[in-house]
Structure 1
Amino acid sequence: MTAPTRPATPIDPLTTERYLGLVADGDELAATRLITELLDHGVPAERIIVDLIGATQRRVGELWAANEWSVAREHAATAVSERAVATVAARTSPYPSRGRITLACVDGEWHGLPARMLAELLRLGGWRVDFLGASVPGRHLITHLHQTGPDAVALSCTIPTRLPRAHAAIAACRAAGVPVIAGGRGFGPGGRYAARLGAHAWAGSGEEAVARLATDWPPRHVIDLPTAEAQSHLGDEEYTHLLRCRPQLITTAMERLSAAYPTAHHYDAAQLESTVEDIGHIVDFLAAALYVGEQEIFTDFIEWTNGVLTSRGVPVTALRTGLRLIRDQLIDFPAAIAMLDAALVELL
């Protein structure tokens, strides 16, 4: 006689708030105990990963952006959630019944937790997963593919500035004959940049990736690369110039900052360091937008940056000044100028 199947227990809002409080306090022990309790009470592992850990991490990011949490607190919370995912993995060990997948974050992408959660969802879905972690250099990824012969590669990219490296990794995977499914917000709304860079498919969430791979993956035939016209702008002259001149663009902007924005005369060392980082991010997102040929990449970043800076008491004038200081150095590059001008209009 078999025991009756116990219905799955959903995760209620109070549990979510409790877990947020634990990660906010950096209480790894209590957080992992909560995960164990949920599993013991029949909450599906998938729901813990997606509805509790994933949802909480999005909230953590929002709290940092709103200047309610420091970077250190955000990092500590993420470390607790990484341990929570490991706890789920330790309590669930389904036998691989589908095939083998290599999962990696593209070179320079250090947000490894979303990919780690996907790895566990794929394992729960019956796949054998080689999770290579954050920021995997392309050459090492390809070496691994030749050594293991997976059925597919899953590439994670959460920040658009990593798209050029994502493109290189996708091209190398295709050359090795391994189909690629891309994921992460870095590939744009609806994954619009993934196909342009040569990926075979894109998934908007971990659950979507699992469903896609379970139903019609890997494809029987490797699809054709995007047309030459669709890829003609990738790595063009303006992008190459911006990449090569990045250090000088930042240095010159900082040299001219006080004259263009007198408040900067009173910046302390920490504020100056933050300003250098902000100008560097502006250049990097402009380069990514030029690489893909998408204004939206840059405009969305500037809008997000404005919100973050405003929450920290930095007026929009400071951001507009930074954009102009970069613009003044790129007068011979019409695509870059057009993108900077569009962003300046958004800040009016």
Structure 2
Amino acid sequence: MPVNSPTSAAAKPSLRNKPPIYHLTWRAMATMCQGSSDNCRSSSVLFENPSKSLVVIDIPSSLEESQVLPSQVPRLHIVSAEPPAAPYPTPEPRHGRDDPSAVASPAAQLAELMTAAAVSSALQDLAVSYPGPFHRPRVLQPQAPLLSALPPLLPEKAEPLHGSVEAHCDSFHMSAPLFNLVVLDPPWPNRSARRKTDKYATVRNLDDMRSLLLHIPLASHLAPDGLVAVWITNKPSIQAFLTSPTGLFAAWGLEVVTEWTWLKVAASGEPLYDVDSAWRKPWEKLVIAKRFGSKKPGALNSKVIVAVPDVHSRKPNLRGLFQDILGEGFLGLEIFARNLTAGWWSWGDEVLRFQQPEHWRETEGM
């Protein structure tokens, strides 16, 4: 195995009535933290500065930790992609920097400049404070295909809602509790993504996306002091879709609190693309909102998350980072999820995709 330097009540029976061996395996593959709190410290956090405005995360480890409760240590490792050794060539618009498609509004340009400044500051901080490593060893060889016939691995206290937003809105509304955190990674309109078949189908346009997301009864299932965190692409129209006065957040009764930036780096710690590229940026953003008029959590501020990418569309699991803000044991919901998180609800067409046994290995000494 080569190793290199992530329900409704009606949906429960179909999962819970399967042979329980893999549900029990997660308990067998976890050990309880013993002794000091240092023994329970997240191994996915490779570095964090004193202000917590900069953190280096190992994405596969964050997925592994999400499969067990916070008081447990995982012993299974997720099959991952080989980390890029060096930055990629930086693509530019075919017509140069004057290409109209590369020009954003003044507000979008200002937002981009602020993100670039935060990223540059983070890189300077890393240059002084943290030489690496920027990822942990990864398991690269998948399990034998015959394991695909086995039932999925179900983390403890995870609630999978397997199906589309439209199909499960009613059952979710009737059975779901109030959540302290709702994370969404929507299938934003993307011409190139439509050619891929290994991910959520993208919607045709932002009007369709608005219709889809407004199906979710989010306002009635968000705790009074709850947070909503949405992953977005770097397309200016998508940020405006969320945050404009007539945007989705306003329709949900939310206001923006802050943004986190995932800076994608190579194994060397260098950004995957030139920070100043006009065409491709080495980051994605997480826009975090709260209810209008509710109190902002004191520990919630802007953050740069530095992480080496893994398989396509796999994001860092956010449970550990939000635990510092919301406290241990908070209840989370992930929509458009591709895996489960122990103690959370997860909803989506591909919610069990990376719960299949072939995506996991028990290895020692990693």
Q: TM-score, normalised by structure 2?
A: 0.24
More strand by share: 2
**Structure number having the greater helix percentage:** 1
TM-score (norm 1): 0.25
